[in-house]
Structures are given as C-alpha cells and as structure tokens.
Amino acid sequence: MDETGERHQGGCQCGETRYEVRGPLRPALICHCGMCQRIHSGPAYYSAAQNENLHLVKSDALGWYRSSPEAERGFCRSCGASLFWRPARGGYTAVSCGSLDRPSGVKAAGHVYLVDQGDYYDLHDDLPRFQRGSGSKLPGVMTVIEE
C-alpha cells in the first residue's frame, strides 16, 4: 500500500488474471469511443492507477492488444474479459471498473468521446460531457489522450 493506505483488488471473470492497486484510484471516466463500444458493447467505465501502484497477482492469461498507435488494451486470454487500457506514453493504466472487486469506492466523474456516442442509448445524468478526450479538465483525473 502507499501512504494513503488504499488498496483495491480486481480481476477477470474466470479468475485467471488478478491484480491489486496499492494506492488511490482516480474517478471513473465513461468512454463512448467506438473502440470501447465494440469491446464492451456500450460505453466503458474506466478508473486508473499510477503504474507503480498496479501489481499483477496472477497474470499468465493476461494478453495485450495494440488497439491504436496511442494505446493498448489488456484482456484475459481465457475468458475474454477486458481489464486494462494504457497509453503508449504516460505513467498510468486505466482499470475497467467492472473488473474491480466490490466495494470499489469509485465514482463516475464525466463522459468522454461523446462524438462517437452510440445511437442505441441516451444519457440521463448531469456529469460533465466532452466531445473528445478532455477528461483531464476534471479534478483528480489523469489522461494523456486529448482533443
């Protein structure tokens, strides 16, 4: 654990990939980009941790897919669960909120990439909204992919 004493655990559906975050998680961004919609079948909720705080506990089934020149995505090769997103540059890894053990303590901070929002759902909250990746304008949010 870091000086905050926070510790979070998570993993995939089948249990073949497990991780621990020893430190704080950032508030979640809800990503509406086309890649997240294809991978998650809808918007994706991602928190994040500094790389030095993310520790793989069980990772034999962890695979990485280079989804764009800017980032890669981590998934379980056994059950297919989407677990991580990390930028090619930057000191953090985004963690799929659905992979966190409960209670996670994570709250949503805003919506990003609404330019790609699917036509099959509506938004019904008052969270901040960004047409592209401007989530770093929100307090406590780290991101390197911007408009």
List of residues 6+ apart from 37 with CB closer than 8 A = 43, 44, 116, 118
List of residues 6+ apart from 113 with CB closer than 8 A = 31, 32, 33, 36, 130, 131, 132, 133
Rounded CA-CA distance 73/10 in Å is: 16
Rounded CA-CA distance 30/53 in Å is: 22
Arithmetic mean of pLDDT, 94-119: 96
Query: If you ran DSSP here, which 8-state letter would residue 43 be given?
Result: -
Q: What is the pLDDT of residues 65-87, one digit of tens each?
A: 999 998 999 999 999 999 999 99
144: exposed, middle or buried (Cβ count in 10 Å: 0-12, 13-18, 19+): middle
Q: What is the pLDDT of residues 20-41, one digit of tens each?
A: 999 999 999 999 999 999 999 9
At 39 the three-state DSSP class reads helix
| Better pLDDT: 102 or 90 | 102
Interior angle at CA 30, CA 28 and CA 36, nearest 5: 120
Give the tokens for residue 68. 């764009």
Arithmetic mean of pLDDT, 95-105: 97
Indicate whether this model's pTM tops 0.85: yes
Q: Are 127 and 134 in contact (CB under 8 A)?
A: no
